[in-house]
Amino acid sequence: MNKVKRLLDRIEALATHITEDDLNAVDSALAYAAIRVLVSDLDAINEEEHDENEFIDERLGDVEDHALSLAQLDDGNGYSPQQHYLWLMTATSTLRGKECFDVEEDDEG
């Protein structure tokens, strides 16, 4: 599960990067694309190790949706990028939990 932890850490780092004030549109879109690749890796782990757990699928979809809005590549459904950032971070926290990948933030293994 160390791989899952690293993937989630990177997603969170990229989401934080997108929120930087001086980030241009191209860098924001690249960070979003990187998040999608990492989510795809997590989806493959879900399929292989968790029998395509529907709850995990939904949370991964949340991460992608909020990253899209965070990068301002859609209208955000009327919510601010900061709100989407909070929702994305909540989704990654949930993915770390026992009901999902069971990888707590302080796990080393």
**C-alpha to C-alpha distance for 79 and 13, rounded to whole angstroms:** 21
pLDDT one-digit tens code per residue, 4-20? 999 999 999 999 999 99
CA distances from 30 to 6, 14, 26, 78, 79 (A): 19, 10, 6, 23, 22
Chain center to CA of 39 = 6
Q: Is residue 66 a contact partner of residue 85, using CB atoms and an 8 Å limit?
A: yes
Residue 22 has pLDDT above 80, yes or no: yes
Please determine, for residue 107, whether its predicted confidence score (pLDDT) is greater than 60. no
Q: Is the pLDDT of residue 109 over 50?
A: no
Confidence grade of residue 105 (pLDDT, cut at 50, 70, 90): low
CA–CA separation, 101 and 39 (whole Å): 13
Helices (H) and strands (E) in the chain, counts: 4, 0
Per-residue pLDDT tens over the stretch 56-93: 999 999 999 999 999 999 999 999 999 999 999 999 99
Spatial CB neighbours of 24, under 8 Å, sequence gap ≥ 6: none
Angstrom CA distances, 6 to 23, 29, 37, stand at: 24, 21, 13
CA–CA separation, 109 and 103 (whole Å): 9
Integer-rounded Cα radius of gyration of the chain = 13
* pLDDT tens digit sequence for 32-57: 999 999 999 999 999 999 999 999 99
